[in-house]
């Protein structure tokens, strides 16, 4: 599987729906099951030999539903593919996603969440230590800030709750995957709306390409995390 020289510009997946993106299967039978928040970035890599299916991005508001949604997708697709990969962090499941993946024999990219595999785990840890009160935006979250944050938290109906919800935060850090002035403007507007300082850190696509572009057996397994029983 190889990356094309020019990344494709593709639309985001729908926030509430699963989506499938058949690829060029002439060089392999691999399926990537990803969060809908990553669909545009994965497809933009232009990797051949893989198909992509996405769970709804809105599951991040109900992370307890992610593990079994992942299991259902794995089982629905297992017979059609030689290899299935998971493109999710733990994403607030408290280790439940990793337990499902271990039971189903599916590997996921390393990292607790997409912020870590965009920036690199060490760089993200440094960011968090620098300012624990940081609210992070990826390009996807910046583009869908109103739907996922404002309406998702009910701030469109109860704007007075903003200061209570974000009392512990001091800044917004936009982890930018691409150079796009429109997305940058949306991220700045989000910080202004939350009443927080704004910073932008360009990450590119981080570990996504490296993880997906390896052959079976070359990927390092995700390190187990000791979650409370």
In degrees, rounded to 5, the angle at the alpha carbon of residue 227 between the alpha carbons of residues 99 and 70 is: 30
Assign 174 to helix, strand or coil: strand
Residue 31 and residue 51 in contact, taking contact as beta carbons nearer than 8 Å: yes
Query: What are the structure tokens assigned to 30, written together?
Result: 């691999």
User: Which domains occur in the chain, in start order?
Assistant: 19-114+206-212 (3.40.50), 121-202 (no CATH)
* pLDDT at 66 (0 to 100): 97
- Residue 226: what pLDDT? 37
- Full DSSP string of 90-114: -TTSTTHHHHHHHHHT-EE-SSSSH
Task: Give 134-156 as a DSSP string.
Answer: EEEEEHHHHHTHIIIIITTTTTT
- pTM of the entire predicted model: 0.79
CA 133, CA 195: separation in Å to the nearest integer? 13
**Cβ count near 218 (within 10 Å):** 9
> SS in 3 state form for 12-43?
CCCCCCCEEECCCHHHCCEEEEEEHHHHHHHH
Question: For each successive 10 residues of the chain (229 residues), what is the average pLDDT?
Answer: 42 52 56 91 82 89 94 96 94 96 96 91 94 97 94 94 97 96 98 98 90 70 41
Determine the Cα–Cα distance for residues 134 and 75; give it in Å rounded to an integer.
37
Position 87 scores a pLDDT of 95
Q: What confidence score (pLDDT) does residue 22 get?
A: 54
Q: Which residues pair with 83 in a beta bridge?
A: 30
Tokens at 17, concatenated: 């729906």
């Amino acid at each position: 599987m190889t990356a094309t020289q020019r990344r494709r510009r593709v639309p985001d997946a729908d926030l509430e729906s699963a989506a499938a993106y058949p690829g060029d299967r002439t060089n392999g039978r691999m399926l990537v099951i990803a969060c809908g928040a990553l669909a545009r970035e994965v497809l933009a890599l232009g990797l051949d030999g893989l198909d992509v299916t996405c769970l709804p991005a809105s599951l991040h508001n109900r992370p307890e539903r992610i593990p079994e949604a992942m299991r259902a997708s794995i089982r629905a697709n297992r017979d059609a593919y030689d290899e299935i990969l998971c493109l999710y962090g733990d994403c607030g499941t408290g280790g439940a996603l990793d337990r499902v993946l271990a039971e189903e024999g599916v590997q996921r990219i390393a990292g607790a969440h997409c912020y870590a595999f965009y920036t690199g785990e060490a760089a993200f840890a440094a960011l968090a230590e620098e300012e624990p009160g940081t609210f992070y935006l990826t390009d996807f979250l910046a583009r869908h800030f109103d739907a996922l944050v404002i309406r998702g938290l009910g701030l469109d109906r109860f704007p007075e709750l903003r200061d209570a919800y974000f009392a512990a935060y001091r800044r917004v850090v936009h982890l930018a995957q691409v150079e796009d002035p429109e997305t940058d403007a949306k991220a700045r507007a989000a910080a202004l709306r939350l009443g927080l300082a704004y910073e932008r850190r360009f990450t590119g696509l981080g570990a996504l390409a490296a993880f997906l572009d390896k052959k079976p057996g070359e990927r390092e397994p995700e390190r187990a995390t000791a979650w409370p029983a």
